[in-house]
């Protein structure tokens, strides 16, 4: 039986503009409480970010759903996620794609996420303990790339990871605020489109 709190969250996401039924279904299927420390689990289906340790957070469900919707994923896609974090965003993407390659530079977070993937029997996620800003050159090219921490600049090196027609979604730091940005590679040009203001922990390369 579906949790009443989860039903309420799905309705709230719909009202906020999340209209892709595949995205809503993935949010419904993935148990967010499994990615949250026990003392915060009663808030798992509130539309808020929550701490997960190591000065990191699990993003609010709206932002996870919005980024997933903007990525426009299908079940043939190979995705690179830069910043595994709790593993929640990765798990949502895994339900919608062929395979997700996810990189985390905080070892404790990577290990915790791997335990949750195993518990949930999600088998199409490949993890790596490394600096995600360097990408995953052995697996180039990717159909989609997602950053789960705010960055001031995406390197040309990362743009070279993406296929023609591919999409990158990232929170970008611009003039002391963060904006969700979609980059699309068309005819070897990068087209960008801006969406909502967001609030993410900064990418470690952007921390003074």
- Among this protein's residues, is 118 annotated catalytic? no
Per DSSP bridges, beta strands 189-198 and 177-186 are antiparallel
Provide the 10 A C-beta neighbour count for residue 12: 15
Residue whose C-alpha is closest to residue 74's, from 93, 59, 89, 57? 93
Of 59, 86, 91, 97, the catalytic one is 59
- Alpha carbon distance 13, 149 (integer Å): 21
> How far are the Cα atoms of 152, 168, 191 from residue 175, in angstroms, in the given order?
10, 21, 20
| 74, 93 Cβ separation under 8 angstroms | no
Q: Give me the active site residues, please.
A: 59
């Amino acid at each position: 039986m579906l949790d009443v709190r989860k039903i309420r969250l799905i309705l709230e996401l719909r009202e906020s503009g999340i209209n892709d039924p595949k995205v809503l279904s993935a949010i419904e299927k993935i148990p967010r409480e499994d990615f949250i420390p026990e003392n915060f689990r009663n808030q798992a289906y509130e539309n808020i970010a929550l701490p997960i340790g190591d000065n990191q957070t699990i993003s609010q469900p709206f932002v996870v759903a919005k980024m997933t919707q903007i990525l426009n994923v299908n079940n043939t896609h190979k995705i690179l996620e830069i910043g595994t974090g709790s593993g929640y965003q990765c798990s949502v993407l895994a339900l919608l794609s062929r395979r997700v390659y996810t990189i985390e530079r905080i070892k404790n977070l990577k290990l915790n996420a791997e335990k949750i993937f195993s518990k949930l029997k999600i088998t199409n996620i490949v993890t790596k303990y490394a600096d995600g800003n360097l990408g995953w050159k052995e697996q180039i090219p990717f159909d989609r790339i997602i950053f789960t921490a705010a960055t001031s600049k995406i390197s040309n090196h990362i743009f070279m990871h993406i296929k023609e027609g591919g999409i990158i979604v990232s929170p970008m730091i611009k003039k002391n605020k963060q904006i969700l940005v979609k980059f699309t590679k068309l005819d070897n040009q990068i087209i960008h489109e801006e969406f909502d203001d967001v609030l993410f922990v900064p990418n470690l390369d952007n921390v003074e």
